[in-house]
Structure 1
């Protein structure tokens, strides 16, 4: 598989994300959910963050005490991870490029990555091949195709998933340990402000200012209220109690024994 040719991601995506990550309730909450889930299943060993962008997730996992290698095909993302996030173990390349350098990883994470890969089944095979025996795979992906909007077009997504469709995707190489939706309070605003206008043919591009508003970087009252509504999701995920709906999906899976 020519992994590089089959990845869809905007050329300015990492720089755009860098403008909002540190002050975004969305990125903060996703980090907290990822950290909570990994903490339940993975205690030590080499953790490879594939497609880790600017290193926002990897920085959190390193601070949690994990031995993290970030693999990022985008030059801007890899540079930001090193220079701005202070990450020492960064490989500029795809997972396929990095595999000769990694050895066998105890765990791999792909956080909002799989939806950018055209041949997602081939990518999952690569992940399994890079893992040690009975290694762990953690992922987040956007949920529900009916929530598709201009934001998905702009982000370079190929698809959105359900818990069932993502479990089916992993099933040939992995046993699912945990699958849960999250960002439940975002479903109404995403459906009304993004998906519905998209279905009605209103497909205008977002600018940096509108992206900042959506991510709540000003920490206004609406953002604080949203953050408060999201807190229970971290508690649920940390105690392995799945949520039944949400605009994103988070999973943990174990590589099947050969």
Structure 2
């Protein structure tokens, strides 16, 4: 497996986040119009997002996961679907240039120290007019010991992420803050109290808060949020 100095955390799948079913489905539904053809998923972890991607109308999924610990679970999870291939390596131009219709980073880009170079790699890997799909944590003042513990180099602002993506050669089709209500509990639990993510709290928030917030934010985009969701297109 090739080594890379840019990726600090070898997989994005936190066990507790696997219980965020409605949360992940919301993200997938926003990205759905751009998920066709050949898809590269960067930092696939154990495959929870990979399997949601395979529910979409895609022809091929190449899921990159450099962690030797997580890769066997990813490979096993994707084995039943002939459209999917798991790669135990870092995403890089060596796997092909101009071959993907979309490159997906869901809770991954914040783990990559040199995110500007990573976005250039995504641009190189995409076909002309291909899509860049990003979901990241937002707001630097929400950065906590928990972020540091799981390998986050940063939290983004919407404008900061847009500038990085534009500088890599993409146009911006959509950029929105996401999960306004999540700001307060995140700040209290992780910034003030220094807690870790718990399976029970994730499941409860996912069941009670996410469904109504999804409806509200689709009608009135929030001015700020716990995350940023962005769709870019290769120029």
TM-score by length of 1: 0.79
Compare the two structures and name the one with the higher helix fraction: 1
**Which residue of the partner structure matches residue 5 of structure 1?**
5
1:251 aligns with 2:230: yes
Aligned counterpart for 1:139 among listed residues 108, 126, 134: 134
> What secondary structure is seen at the aligned counterpart in 2 of 1:132?
strand
Aligned CA distance change for structure 1 residues 56 and 98 (closer, same or farther; 3 Å): farther
* Structure 1 residue 34, shift from structure 2 partner: 2.6
> What secondary structure is seen at the aligned counterpart in 2 of 1:5?
coil
How far apart in 2 are the matches of 1:97 and 1:177? 24
1:74 aligns with 2:67: yes
Aligned CA distance change for structure 1 residues 34 and 225 (closer, same or farther; 3 Å): closer
The answer for unaligned runs of 5 or more in structure 1 is 198-202
Matches within 5 A, 1:148-159: 148-159=143-154
**Which residue of the partner structure matches residue 90 of structure 1?**
86
**Which residue of the partner structure matches residue 55 of structure 1?**
47
TM-score by length of 2: 0.86
Q: Which runs of 4+ in 1 moved over 4 A?
A: none
Q: State the aligned residue count.
A: 229
- Give the superposed CA RMSD: 2.5
The answer for unaligned runs of 5 or more in structure 2 is none
How far apart in 2 are the matches of 1:169 and 1:223? 30
1:45 aligns with 2:37: yes
How far apart in 2 are the matches of 1:62 and 1:170? 26
